[in-house]
A and B are shown apart, each in its own frame.
Chain A
Amino acid sequence: MRVTQGCFSFLPDLTDDQIRRQVQYCLDKGWAVNIEFTDDPHPRNTYWEMWGLPMFDLRDAAGIMKELADCRRVYGDRYIRLSGFDSSHGWESVRISFIVNRPAHEGGFRLDRQEAAGRNIRYSTRAYAAQRPEGERYQS
């Protein structure tokens, strides 16, 4: 399966050149670019680990691409996403977010059903990978 979170998951994986152009778009808008990674892609796992702080003062796409390359070197077996953060009044949140790195094999999710009263079902979604301890989930 392919996790389809983020803005561009239905397109072929972005090349570094395409990623750089999206980073430039964020910088031109005055947004801070943030790099995050995780090995728990649950749809409601909001807080991926941050690769340092959001780069509020870095205004150069090349610098961000270098950070991304460094992050990939360490966590290349995991999901990595880039996001653009807009601190202006009335938004003060993420403006764009997209995946830039995936594990070699995406194991997907198991849907558990617990039969409850009447015909109700309690659902829970579990990433197969998350059964293993953090850090060991996508190692072959």
Chain B
Amino acid sequence: MKHESITVRGKERYKSGVMEYKRMGYYEPDYEPKDTDVIALFRVTPQDGVDPIEACAAVAGESSTATWTVVWTDRLTAAEKYRAKCYRVDPVPNSPGSYFASIAYDLDLFEPGSIANLSASIIGNVFGFKPLKALRLEDMRLPVAYVKTFQGPATGIVVERERLDKFGRPLLGATVKPKLGLSGRNYGRVVYEALKGGLDFTKDDENINSQPFMHWRERFLYCMEAVNRAQAATGEVKGTYLNVTAATMEDMYERADFARELGSNVVMIDLVIGYTAIQSMAKWARRNDMILHLHRAGHSTYTRQRNHGISFRVIAKWMRLAGVDHIHAGTVVGKLEGDPNTTRGYYDVCREDFNPAKLEHGIFFDQHWASLNKLMPVASGGIHAGQMHQLLDLLGEDVVLQFGGGTIGHPRGIQAGATANRVALEAMILARNEGRDYVHEGPEILAKAALSCTPLREALEVWKDVTFNYESTDSPDFVPTPSLAV
């Protein structure tokens, strides 16, 4: 939709009273974004009868300098610079009544290195604005000048691999189950068995913190016994994500310091601790040579529905800036939401130094990361050894594959479950590197590997029919959604 600028200028602009946002300078169709501008792409669904251009201009206004009426104090500032400018409005394909608004923000609107400040503007008041039925932040272009004000991942994919001495294959993990109720001593048993059996990592679940059945120090002490035992039994570096999520920063630092004192190589936090706490922990992790694992607990409350909230790709971008090393980013084939193309977009955001705009993956802008460390995506939730060829094909090599139920639920125990996953993975990597068509020959490759590995044979048998084939609620707008035949 192309229109002329209808901005009122000069004395008239500052006459007391109410003026439409599109006339106050928040809609500038001729504006060309500068290389240093932050750009946001919103999906705007105006209330019935509200002019879409006015709605989009209002989003620009309410996420930058505007209030509901004209104020003379604008004239004490370089107001035109500080006004966010909606420079483009496009109808959303196949979605009558919704519009994509591209909005440019001057870099001076944001505090360097602060996700809290960035998000307070971009997803602040504006999401409750009455003239809108719904609003979703789809994507952001972060200028290099702004990227460079952030620390980025404390460790990064390359250094993480160097520290772990693990190259050329996805890392393997498992979340300890049951989620709640195990004592420290029993919990450590699961960790030991899984690591000795062949996993690289085990993981606390998001809601394992410090409860009556297991206080955090018990967990940390028994887990580190398990990690050290497993290292000695295999000669391989092992780790367990000790969840340090707690009520206050002081508590989190205390737990993280104890993890370091015990020799852990990784700690974990939940997304619900908030952006500032995440950035603090990322700085702590960099200072203490620690890998920082982030569980995206809570994100689906605002990322999952297509018409309102924030796309996970934006959260992934913010978390790369904020400085975590691992982020759960979907499995495609598992039990949790994840359209293949959209998920691919998230993985690219985590792992590439440059993301070209790719609408079919939901990536709306070119994004340069300016050598900011890479962030390791984690695939977790309802995956098992029989899907190894699909996982490798869809998610690539720099990923942590987490088989929780798919390890601990093995009929012959946790070690057997871990071994099944590791053998399946190594067999698939070997075949891929040999140039075989591993995606199509996957089941055959696994069956052959299972001939010399009874645990794998049993795993393939138990979970052979498990798939999660549901329609995605968050797929890109620009291509038909492929249904995933498993």
A90 touches B419 (CB 8 A): no
- CA separation between A91 and B235, bound complex, in Å? 26
Encode A3-23 as 1/0 by CB contact (under 8 A) with B.
111011111101000100110
A5 touches B236 (CB 8 A): yes
A43 touches B237 (CB 8 A): yes
CB closest chain-B residue, reference A119: B221
- CA separation between A3 and B209, bound complex, in Å? 34
Most A CB within 10 A of own CB, among B233, B234, B261, B434: B234
Q: How far is the CB of B372 from chain A (nearest CB, A)?
A: 10
Q: How many residues of A are in contact with the other chain, CB < 8 A?
A: 42
B430 touches A22 (CB 8 A): yes
A95 touches B167 (CB 8 A): yes
CB-CB under 8 A for A43 and B235, given A10-B198, A94-B162, A125-B228: yes
Q: Is chain B's interface secondary structure helix, strand, loop, or mixed overall?
A: helix
CB closest chain-A residue, reference B262: A120
Q: How many residues of B are in contact with the other chain, CB < 8 A?
A: 38
B235 touches A5 (CB 8 A): yes
B235 touches A4 (CB 8 A): yes
Q: Is chain A's interface secondary structure helix, strand, loop, or mixed overall?
A: loop
Q: Could you say which of A91, A110, A119 contacts B158, with CB atoms under 8 Å apart?
A: A91
CB closest chain-A residue, reference B352: A90
A11 touches B232 (CB 8 A): no
Query: Taking the complex as formed, is A121 at the interface, i.e. its CB lies under 8 A from any CB of chain B?
Result: yes
CB closest chain-A residue, reference B434: A21
Q: Which residues of the partner chain B approach A57 to less than 8 Å between Cβ atoms?
A: none
Query: Taking the complex as formed, is A101 at the interface, i.e. its CB lies under 8 A from any CB of chain B?
Result: no
- CA separation between A98 and B430, bound complex, in Å? 11
CB-CB under 8 A for A11 and B434, given A95-B167, A96-B168: no
- CA separation between A52 and B316, bound complex, in Å? 43
Query: Taking the complex as formed, is B55 at the interface, i.e. its CB lies under 8 A from any CB of chain A?
Result: no
B263 touches A7 (CB 8 A): no
Q: Could you say which of A3, A83, A84, A120 contacts B235, with CB atoms under 8 Å apart?
A: A3
CB closest chain-A residue, reference B351: A90
CB closest chain-B residue, reference A91: B158
- CA separation between A43 and B165, bound complex, in Å? 8
Which A residues from 83 to 109 make CB contacts under 8 A with B? 83-84, 89-98, 108-109
Q: How far is the CB of B221 from chain A (nearest CB, A)?
A: 6
Query: Taking the complex as formed, is B427 at the interface, i.e. its CB lies under 8 A from any CB of chain A?
Result: yes
- CA separation between A4 and B426, bound complex, in Å? 12
CB-CB under 8 A for A123 and B434, given A11-B423, A97-B168, A108-B235: no
Query: Taking the complex as formed, is A58 at the interface, i.e. its CB lies under 8 A from any CB of chain B?
Result: no
A25 touches B263 (CB 8 A): no
Q: Could you say which of B229, B235, B435 contacts A41, with CB atoms under 8 Å apart?
A: B235
Q: Which residues of the partner chain A approach B237 to less than 8 Å between Cβ atoms?
A: 43-44
Most A CB within 10 A of own CB, among B237, B419, B433: B433
Q: How far is the CB of A16 from chain B (nearest CB, A)?
A: 14
Q: Which residues of the partner chain A approach B374 to less than 8 Å between Cβ atoms?
A: 90
Encode B421-444 as 1/0 by CB contact (under 8 A) with A.
011001101100111000000000
Q: Which residues in B have some Cβ–Cβ distance to A below 8 Å?
A: 158, 161-162, 165, 167-169, 198, 221, 224-225, 228-229, 231-237, 261-263, 353, 371, 374, 419, 422-423, 426-427, 429-430, 433-435, 449, 452
Q: 5 A-B contacts, Cβ less than 8 Å apart?
A: A1-B235, A22-B433, A43-B236, A91-B158, A95-B168
Counting from the closest, the 10 A-B pairs by CB-CB distance are: A96-B168, A3-B235, A111-B232, A25-B433, A123-B228, A109-B232, A7-B168, A21-B434, A97-B167, A4-B234
Known: A44-B165, A84-B168, A97-B167. 12 other contacts (CB 8 A): A1-B235, A4-B235, A7-B168, A8-B426, A11-B449, A43-B237, A89-B353, A90-B353, A96-B168, A108-B235, A119-B221, A123-B224
